[in-house]
Amino acid sequence: MCSKFNNYKIEISYDGSHFHGFQKQSDLKTVQSVIEESIDLILNNYKLNYAGRTDAGVHAKSQIISLSTSGSVNTAFLKSLDSLVGPEIKIKKIQKINNSFHPRFDAKSRVYKYFLQSSNTSEPYNRNYSYLVKTKIELNELKSVERLFIGKKNFKNFSKLRKGQDPFREITKSKWSKRDGYFIYTIEGNSFLHNMVRAIVGCQLAVVENKISKKELASSLIQPQKKRFNYIAPAHGLYLWKIKY
């Protein structure tokens, strides 16, 4: 007689500084490999699905996983798993959910935040968690380009696309703010291409630094150029902030 499998939604956060990204890779430390190696010590039979992947150095305030298993998943399991994954990953919450739930395909939108500081306000202990910009930046300069990305746009120049991959993505929020010395960029969309958010941040900084014009940036989202933009903000300032269902 087959044991009944139940599905669980797990929320985690992690410091991506010392991981080679989220996705499992041979002989490299990744978030996925640490989680699976830890669960292997508790459960014999299970299946995991993930909401998405983050690159090396990128952090997550809220990443979602689903765990399908016939094993016992309770408060003791949460505490055991949280202890096993180590201090760079936090198992925040586990809840039983319907068996059809898939963290990637059921997501309605994803929210990312990017943190940067200007050189005169940065502290050395923040170097792995925000991008230090060497030029002076004003919030109104960043806000002058933030709305260019709102709507359904062609992001061909903002990512290295796979063959046949759709370059169009719909962005519902693109906003700069400033708090406690940080410039914070918040972007929300249905899905994102590889390196897309970092390229969007990098291109906005390029406009502020007069490396490209606002007109060039706007036109690239309608009629992409042959060459991709080469303005990519570093990974360590980026956070997967929230996934909405």
Nearest-5° angle of CA 236, CA 168, CA 25? 45
**Residue spans of alpha helices (H) in 25-129:** 31-40, 75-85
List the one residue out of 118, 144, 113, 141 whose CA is nearest residue 131. Answer: 118
Query: Is the distance from CB of 238 to CB of 59 less than 8 angstroms?
Result: yes
The one-letter amino acid at 233: A
Cα separation, 180 vs 221, in Å, equals 32
15 assigned to active site: no
Find the catalytic residue in 15, 27, 40, 55.
Answer: 55
Query: Is the distance from CB of 234 to CB of 58 less than 8 angstroms?
Result: no
Query: Is the distance from CB of 228 to CB of 104 less than 8 angstroms?
Result: no
Cα separation, 178 vs 139, in Å, equals 7
Looking at residue 220, what DSSP letter applies? H
Instruction: Give the residue numbers marked as catalytic.
Output: 55
